[in-house]
Structure 1
């Protein structure tokens, strides 16, 4: 069972960025999902996919995997690019009209 260590992205329904500082460890599914024939629900025989652990920093998540002998993959977050401009730039004569 392999683990994925990443920092979750901001939800589209959130305006703040407060809960994005923690790192998460999720286990990759060990078996394929299947559809229940009676209800049509999706199920799996692998219960480790339901477990997700939160850590304060990436190093502690890596240390947890190394201590327990869990193979892991670290996904670095993409840094956002800020395009800072003033409100007055909307009315400037040099503004490109598109």
Structure 2
């Protein structure tokens, strides 16, 4: 806090408090009371982009949401993606960026303003995190949790390998297991991404958006994953015995 002393004729000295607005996005102490948000809450302010599924113009205004404070998980009963972080349900709308920033500062929040370039990057990052969460959950359910990091690396390398889409290039998941032109990492990545696609289709169907009315192939893909890892284990055993 800065104090400005102003000496006026007559001997009276008046101290004037100069209020300066914060010029960064660090948490600042509140003038009165406590924030309604936890101390570790970090806000993200962004301008919503136009949905890819509509030709309507982009929405006006800005939104304030909160960064995840805990990892998401796949709910075992219904298969929904869940989180223990209740702040993920909070979404505040503001007509202008300045109003959103001033709200965050009034609440003493740490915050960051997201640009359009960051939007595109975050969409990719969000997709990657969601598919990784699904992969870990699937491997755990199939008794293959020891391979979580192995599958994670295989899926990260998919772009560099230019892995093809499973359902579009093979008639059945087991065809991928027996395809000798594919590396082991490619097989793992293609099958897990296929499983994730089937999972998303199941979710859409459960929410009243049927996908071509076809039955789910998730079980079929999971059986292929199990068969692939059985083959890998048997090959390793034969090499060790030789």
TM-score normalised according to structure 2 size: 0.30
State the partner residue of 1:83. Answer: none
State the partner residue of 1:41. Answer: 80
Q: Which has the higher contact order (CA 8 A, sep 6+)?
A: 1
Q: Does 1:28 align with 2:54?
A: no
Query: Displacement of 1:15 after TM fit?
Result: 1.6
Deviates more, 1:8-17 or 1:67-76: 8-17
State the partner residue of 2:110. Answer: 71
Give a deviation string over 1:21-55, Cα, whole Å, max 9, x none: 11011111111112233433321111101111110
- Matches of 1:48 and 1:39, distance apart in 2: 22
Q: Does 1:2 align with 2:42?
A: yes
Q: Which structure has the bigger radius of gyration?
A: 2
Please, which runs of 5 or more residues in structure 2 have no aligned partner? 1-40, 118-242
Structure with more strand by fraction: 1
Q: Does 1:54 align with 2:76?
A: no
State the partner residue of 1:13. Answer: 53
Structure with more helix by fraction: 2
Give a deviation string over 1:2-34, Cα, whole Å, max 9, x none: 0110101101122221x5211011111111112
TM-score normalised according to structure 1 size: 0.70
- Matches of 2:73 and 2:56, distance apart in 1: 37
Deviates more, 1:36-45 or 1:56-65: 36-45
- Matches of 2:53 and 2:75, distance apart in 1: 31
Q: Cα RMSD between the aligned structures?
A: 1.5
Give a deviation string over 1:61-83, Cα, whole Å, max 9, x none: 000000001110101336xxxxx
Aligned length: 77
Please, which runs of 5 or more residues in structure 1 have no aligned partner? 79-98
